Amino acid sequence: MDLLFTLLATVVALGLLVTIHEYGHFWVARRCGVKVLRFSVGFGPALYSWHDKRGTEYAIASIPLGGYVKMLDEREGPVDAAELDQAFNRKTVQQRIAVVAAGPVANFLLAIVAFWLIAVLGITTLAPVLGPVEEGSVAARAGLVEGLEVVEVDGTPTRSWQEVNLQLIRRLGETGQMQIKAIENGSSVPQSYSLVLSDWLRGADQPDPIRALGLTTWQPDVPPLVGEVSDGGAAQAAGLRSGDLIVSINGDPVDNWLEQVVPAIQANAGRPLEMGIERDSVRQTLTLVPQGREHNGEVSGFAGLGVAAFDWPESMIREIDYNPLVAIPVAVAKTWDMTILTLESLKKMLTGLVSAKNLSGPITIAKVAGASAKSGPESFLNFIAYLSISLGVLNLLPIPVLDGGHLVYYTAEWIRGKPLSERLQAWGLQIGVALIAGVMLFAIFNDISRLGS
């Protein structure tokens, strides 16, 4: 069932992104007088198709990993003399640039709409209040302590841990000072803290910025009551059930899930733990052997065990929403910020400041699609927006085959007054295909490596 849900979420997400992208090309092409022969969502044989009164075929194809808009073009076959004025290649260079650029622009517009919906519907999030700060860490040396609420990172306001994390990600691989402002409980006056970075997390495979600074998130006292037991996990094999109260581990009393249960499981991968539990007012002992998984070269234990639902203090809850008009500039600014962050991350990846192992392919996209859809509409809309921005940025890269490569050709033609030679364009096409294929294979390899770990 989980696999089916993940596949459905992936198809919905990719189908929406591809449809919007291709509709951008289609909409502008029609307005430039170009005849569109086919609008296909997906590749391969058509599962379903129909035609409109202008003769355009619309198709839903069997391989939902992309799509295309096929236009009338003399370079792809003979064109009737009566339709030459509708051929793409006969349009002015400015019109061709507009048609090609419309796809990525549509992706950015989709991201704006998604962020606007999130802003209007509103979100409930946790305040970025610090838990215990690791001794000797970057954060501790800067003077940050438990209980402070982070309100600003490098001049950007932060109202949630997600916003804090996004600002920290911007500094990956860098050397310099990071400025954080935080307030004490009951105060409204922020204090400034300067964190010194030196090649911070440079080349890390799966960076965890918050943890790397020595920070933790504040957590309430959580009773050690089992809420969920995953099928096939170590907890199920040990005989643990939903509703069990964990009272001891290896004979030591337990009264807090986050401070005692989680660390004990993480620190004992492959080693047996004697779990004292209370079930239906009867105490018994079970043996749990946590499974191990690797993260950044360290092996930690996990058991397929979830805590029962618990309440957070109202003072830690933040409600963030906007009226529809105010939400428009908020959504535009968020899209702009995420676009710049994507470009900065690509630059850092090319220069080695960020590991290329962070590049993700279709398997990771599918996993995130399923997880975000399960988390609710706000999470899924965020995923749609981020993926749409990534698709828009990727397509604007100056690589032949991609929209950005075509824009380079047409811009050169505009400047020169004539198109580049067909031989040069053919070379560019071959290089572009090889480059994109290589990146895709590397991304899929990364996906498989993550599954293995």
Which residues are tagged catalytic?
22
Residue 45: half-sphere exposure toward Cβ, Cα within 13 Å: 1
Q: Which amino acid belongs to residue 330?
A: V
DSSP of 165-231: HHHHHTTTT--EEEEEEEE-TT--S-EEEEEEESSTTTT-SS--HHHHTT--B-------BEEEE-T
Q: What are phi and psi of 192, to 5 degrees?
A: -95, 140
Structure tokens at 138: 């970057």
Q: What are phi and psi of 264, to 5 degrees?
A: -65, -40
DSSP of 252-284: EE---IIIIIHHHHHT-TTS-EEEEEEETTEEE
Taking a C-beta distance cutoff of 8 angstroms, is the pair 341, 170 a contact?
yes
Give me the residue label for tokens 């991968």. Answer: 269
Structure tokens at 94: 């400015």
Name the CA dihedral angle for 277, 280, 284, 289, rounded to a multiple of 10 degrees. -50
Give the span between the Cα atoms of 227 and 161, in whole angstroms: 24
Give me the residue label for tokens 């500094």. Answer: 171
* Nearest residue to 22 via CA among 58, 68, 88: 68
Structure tokens at 388: 């749409």
Q: What are phi and psi of 380, to 5 degrees?
A: -70, -40
Residue 68: half-sphere exposure toward Cβ, Cα within 13 Å: 11
Q: What are phi and psi of 4, to 5 degrees?
A: -65, -40
Structure tokens at 298: 């360290």
Structure tokens at 30: 């029609």
For 77, the 3-state DSSP assignment is: coil
